[in-house]
Amino acid sequence: MSYEVLARKYRPANFEEVVGQDHIIKALVNSIDQEKIHHAYIFSGTRGVGKTTIARILAKCMNCESSTKPTSKPCNECSNTIEVSAGRSVDFLEIDAASNTQVEKIRELIETVEYKPAKGRYKIYLIDEVHMLSTSSFNALLKTLEEPPPHVIFIFATTNPEKIPKTVQSRCLQLNLKTIDEELLFKHIKQILEKEQINYDDESIALIANSANGSVRDALTFLDQAIAHGNGKLSQKEVKALLGTIDNSLLIELIDSVIDGDGKNVFDLLSKIEELSPEYDAILKDIISVLHQISLHQVIRNSSSESIQKIANKLDKEFCQLLYEIAMNAYSKFSVHPNPKEALEICLLRMLTFNPLQKLSEKSDFKQTNSSEKKIVNEAKPEGLEKIFNKNEPKDEAIFSCNDDWINFFNRTKMSPFARNFFWNMSFHLYEKNSLTLIKNSEAGDIPENIFLEFKSILKEAFLKNIEVIIQSGNPIDSPLQLKDLENKKHHDEARKSIDEDINIQDFIKKFDGKIKTDTIKPIK
């Protein structure tokens, strides 16, 4: 076969070509240029970020014949560097620890350490996935690793450095490779496509860079597949079909429907997403990603997406975190669920069920309230609000006339904890012409749209008509929270007074020279 896959064709041949590992390259280049080369290295990082590639370049640097000493810029023309690149150098031994876990194999390796290199300056041992060696194998390496001959360099590559014994780690210089930033991957893929003279669009490259999850090798493997799938060119539609990428607009609309409590639309959208044939865990993973973007925008306002901005402004921060936790909990148990589709559906049902802002309802099935239903609504109104509620048709002037009416209504009306946290800091200002004006603290944040809609729906259910709500910034006086604090202080003072006036308690304190911690005094409820 004459075709060479892109991941091999564009494998870096020198340090300058390595993508996204500047911190590692700088350390290695400086150590080579200053002739302060360590005898053992651990390269750790996820798959496809350049561990083996950097190890090979380092081997070429140590044995390049273009210089009388190790160089940070191998020529890639001399026999030593060409043999390392081709994988047939006698002085560069690549060992797969996954298939050579036995201690006998390591002992055989140690026996060869004393022999000097055949052609180069150094004999270099690269042990890939070193964490898979047995404990006996690691123990056999310890003495040689601590005091190797001056012509030997060990390089350990691993995706799981935590499994390497501390005794081995302490003898090595550990360099941690990072996952590659999407922007860097995008540029790298674009350069390759231009060299290969392949037609592309930026959206396709972005999809591949995102799906690679920081791995250059994965990105180039996906790129190979996409080129084959698109018959020699890249298009967004073809790449989406190949990767099973879900349309972000559908996910955002689905989350929006969850927030509104519109269960029917949630599952209609799920059916549309299923038509794209993605894995169910991938759908949940993308939902988590969108919720993460929404949460970030709520705090640091960093999203340029209008749809993300809209939901972030609409959604309460605490409810957003609740949705995120439900999704993460479902994802963590996804692998043990017998049916992936059911696992995703249950996750969405939980989001709808624990929605504190709106009841789960199917909007298409709403019915107009008839006279018998009106009676039920009236009977379900909070008790003790005769002044506010008229059992027949309420008159506009009788709803709110003063702050006491507002306090009475707030204290006896059921609403979500999120809505309660916002509105109990407000005081009554004015009610006229079906319009209620409340005063909030000027330093308080804006009320999320969904909480505002919930409050308006509570008013409508209570008074059987739409009431406009106006929130003005100012200095609220006698808000439900302020009055509650005053009441608590009064009860606390009464409890403290009763203790001070209790002769038995005071005699006991004097007898034992004791003190009462005032912050521990609580009124009897």
Q: What is the DSSP string of 455-524?
A: HHHHHHHHHSS--EEEEEEE---S-HHHHHHHHHHHHHHHHHHHHHT-HHHHHHHHHTT----GGG----
**Does residue 366 lie within any of the structural domains?**
no
**Amino acid (1-letter code) at residue 513:** D
Query: Are 339 and 379 found together in one domain?
Result: no
Q: Which among 158, 164, 206, 203 has a CA at the least distance from the CA of 185?
A: 206
Query: Are 230 and 145 found together in one domain?
Result: no
**167-171 contacts, C-beta under 8 A, 24 or more apart:** 167/138, 167/142, 168/138, 168/141, 168/142, 169/42, 171/40, 171/142, 171/145, 171/146
The CATH code of the domain that includes 301 is 1.20.272.10
Phi, psi of 275 (to 5 degrees): -65, -20
Distance of alpha carbon 353 from alpha carbon 97, whole angstroms? 50
Query: Are 467 and 497 found together in one domain?
Result: no
**Does residue 358 lie within any of the structural domains?**
no
Q: Which among 112, 116, 110, 161 has a CA at the least distance from the CA of 137?
A: 110
What pLDDT score does 156 carry? 95
pLDDT at 227 over 50: yes
Q: What average pLDDT does the segment 32-58 reach?
A: 93
**Amino acid (1-letter code) at residue 333:** K
Query: Are 454 and 376 found together in one domain?
Result: yes
Query: Are 289 and 435 found together in one domain?
Result: no
**Does residue 118 lie within any of the structural domains?**
yes
Write out pLDDT tens, residues 332-374.
988 888 899 999 999 999 999 888 655 444 443 433 334 333 3
Q: Residue 464: pLDDT band by 50, 70, 90 thresholds? A: confident
Answer left, alpha or beta for residue 498, where phi above 0 means left and psi between -120 and 50 means alpha. Answer: alpha
Q: What average pLDDT does the segment 8-31 reach?
A: 93
Number of domains present in the structure of the chain? 5
**Amino acid (1-letter code) at residue 469:** V
Burial of 483 (0-12, 13-18, 19+ CB in 10 A): middle
Burial of 283 (0-12, 13-18, 19+ CB in 10 A): buried
Query: Are 150 and 50 found together in one domain?
Result: yes
**Domain range for residue 111?**
6-176
Query: Are 237 and 323 found together in one domain?
Result: no
Query: Are 487 and 385 found together in one domain?
Result: no
Query: Are 17 and 164 found together in one domain?
Result: yes
Check if the beta carbon of residue 226 is closer than 8 Å to that of residue 242.
Answer: yes
**Does residue 186 lie within any of the structural domains?**
yes
What pLDDT score does 398 carry? 54
Q: What average pLDDT does the segment 114-118 reach?
A: 91
Distance of alpha carbon 39 from alpha carbon 59, whole angstroms? 12
Q: Structure tokens of 406?
A: 């507002």
**Does residue 362 lie within any of the structural domains?**
no
**Domain's final residue, options 154, 176, 198:** 176
Query: Are 300 and 445 found together in one domain?
Result: no
Query: Are 468 and 494 found together in one domain?
Result: no
Query: Are 216 and 277 found together in one domain?
Result: no
The CATH code of the domain that includes 105 is 3.40.50.300
The average confidence (pLDDT) of the chain is 85
**Does residue 360 lie within any of the structural domains?**
no
Write out pLDDT tens, residues 242-288.
877 777 788 999 999 998 888 899 999 999 888 877 788 889 998 99
